[in-house]
Amino acid sequence: MTYVTIGEMTQWAQLRSWGARNRGALDHWLGSLVVINSSVEAARLWGTISGWGKLHGRSRPINDTWIAACCLAENLPLATVNVKDYEDLVAEYGLELVTGGR
């Protein structure tokens, strides 16, 4: 899981006013995962794919491009149910998607 995804999940819990029990369960679950942190390679890839998207009229949310860049930098697939949001990155950069059969 990327560090960006953990931030998004934590924000989600905050916005929904999760109590201590649910936050503890989330923290416990997150603690069992391998986390993809930022890197110079991920930062360069983020700049490349976000710039490419803007040049091609395909801007997307910053967090989506950070998650894709982290996966590309580590040569790992990106799990998503929003395939259409990443199809051009599959074609242009070889991003591999895991879709859960959807």
* C-alpha pair distances (Å), 24 with each of 9, 10, 18, 33, 77: 13, 11, 10, 15, 28
Burial of 60 (0-12, 13-18, 19+ CB in 10 A): middle
- Residue with structure tokens 């149910």? 81
pLDDT of 100: 76
Q: What is the mean pLDDT of residues 29-38?
A: 94
What whole-number percentage of the chain has pLDDT above 70?
98
The single-letter DSSP state of residue 85 is G
pTM: 0.86
pLDDT tens digits, 2-28: 999 999 999 999 999 999 999 999 999
pLDDT of 101: 63
